[in-house]
Amino acid sequence: MNRISRYLLKRFSHIFILALATFIGLYLLIDFFEKVDDLLEYKAGLDLSLFYFALKIPLIFTQVCPMAVLMAVFMTIGGLARTSELTALHAGGVSLMRIAVPLITTAWLISLLLLLVNETLVPSSVRAMNHTWDARIEGDQTLSFKSSRLWLREGNRIINIQSADPDQKQLNGVSLFRFNEDFKLLERFSADQALFNDGGWKVERGVLYRFNPESGELRETVRLDQQFLPLKKQPEDFRIVEREAEELNFKQLRSRAAKLRAEGYDSTRLRVDMHNRLASPFATLIMAFIGIPFALQKGRGSSIALGVAVTIAIGFGYHVLQAICLALGYAELLPAIVAAWATNLMFLLVGLWLMMRETSA
């Protein structure tokens, strides 16, 4: 590594660390004010509250890192242009691509680091964070996950649900177990699907198994039509299921999606999340490509305020477009892999076009 590369990376690293710390701090501050009422309501202590927010830092790190890289690249190149160092480098025969290579290489390495963090640290920290909030802060343990299923308990009934889709108001793979006071099985009701209708969960076709509570033997099998489940949960109550994807890495999401598909259930959302788990870290590399030509266009007018404004504008545009593509993927209007990678590809092409235009100018 020559002197120019070391100089560029030193400036980049200082701005990147400062931007990253600022974005993480702002994220935590906003999140704190959103949750402070709940923390006070549930009487969560200071140590438990700090522990909860500390567990959230790995997830926040992966989300704000692309914006921190964008700002660092913009301010590094913009700073060189503002102090005429960029002109001096060009006069010395140093091309724009030669200046861009160490920054883009660093962004690539950060992308690989994010991929590693997404696969190892984030799932476990999010799982611990969700458990801390549900079990230790709210004290609500009525919803729990085991393997790929959701378990609920209401009175003397235990309900097992394969998957829940709150947007479609639909439960898939429902099994209801009813016990007596001695916790001996009396009945089991099974249905492939339940839809929320007329204020309750309605099953079109199901099978009821009645058991002898003493011997456990099957006494009777009855096929039932048009039944309502004795379940008080609303569709919105199952939105907790959606965040389970954040607790899984790529391999686990792929396994879960394959299992749901093999059992005949819709695995679209999991497949989109699976591909997005690989695509999202490389937003960092894309932001480096975008930041360099934008900084060159602003030239001597580059400043901290402008850098913040450009970072927010580009970051906001990226996340809006990514959300739209993911929504199209969830709705099966785009293939899962296209929905996850489309935004990266579009921003990469724009960045390359702007870069080529600057190098040819």
The answer on pLDDT for 299 being more than 70 is no
pLDDT tens digit sequence for 160-218:
888 787 778 888 888 999 888 888 889 999 988 889 887 888 888 889 999 988 888 88
Beta bridge partners of 194: 171
Strand runs labelled E in the chain: 143-146, 149-154, 157-165, 170-179, 185-197, 200-211, 218-229
**Which range is least confidently modeled, 67-71, 109-113, 125-129, 241-245?**
241-245
pLDDT tens digit sequence for 110-136:
999 999 999 999 999 998 998 888 778
Q: Phi/psi class of residue 74: alpha, beta or left (left: φ > 0; alpha: ψ in -120 to 50)?
A: alpha
pLDDT at 172: 86
**Which range is least confidently modeled, 51-55, 68-72, 122-126, 288-292?**
288-292
Six-digit token pair at 74? Answer: 């913009």
CB-based contacts of 14: which residues, under 8 Å, 6+ apart?
none
- Asked if 129 contacts 122 with a C-beta cutoff of 8 angstroms, the reply is no
The rounded mean pLDDT for the chain is: 85
Q: To 10 degrees, the CA torsion angle through 314, 320, 322, 326? A: 180
The answer on pLDDT for 142 being more than 60 is no
pLDDT band at residue 146 under the 50/70/90 scheme: very low
Task: Report the DSSP pairing between strands 149-154 and 170-179.
Answer: unpaired
pLDDT at 322: 95
pLDDT tens digit sequence for 310-351:
788 888 899 999 999 999 999 889 999 999 999 999 999 988
- Asked if 15 contacts 75 with a C-beta cutoff of 8 angstroms, the reply is yes
pLDDT at 147: 40
Task: Please give the distance of CA 301 from its chain centroid, rounded to a whole number.
Answer: 36
Calculate ∠ Cα 281-283-285, nearest 5°. Answer: 95
pLDDT at 59: 93
For the question of whether the overall pTM of this predicted structure is more than 0.75, the answer is no
pLDDT tens digit sequence for 261-296:
776 667 888 899 999 999 999 999 999 988 888 887
Calculate ∠ Cα 79-84-89, nearest 5°. Answer: 100
**Which range is least confidently modeled, 10-14, 48-52, 74-78?**
74-78
pLDDT at 29: 95
The answer on pLDDT for 248 being more than 70 is yes
Domain positions in the chain: 3-120+267-360, 142-235
pLDDT at 100: 85
Greater pLDDT, 26 or 247: 26
pLDDT at 143: 47
Calculate ∠ Cα 281-284-285, nearest 5°. Answer: 105
pLDDT band at residue 38 under the 50/70/90 scheme: confident
Backbone angles phi, psi at 214, to 5 degrees: -85, -50
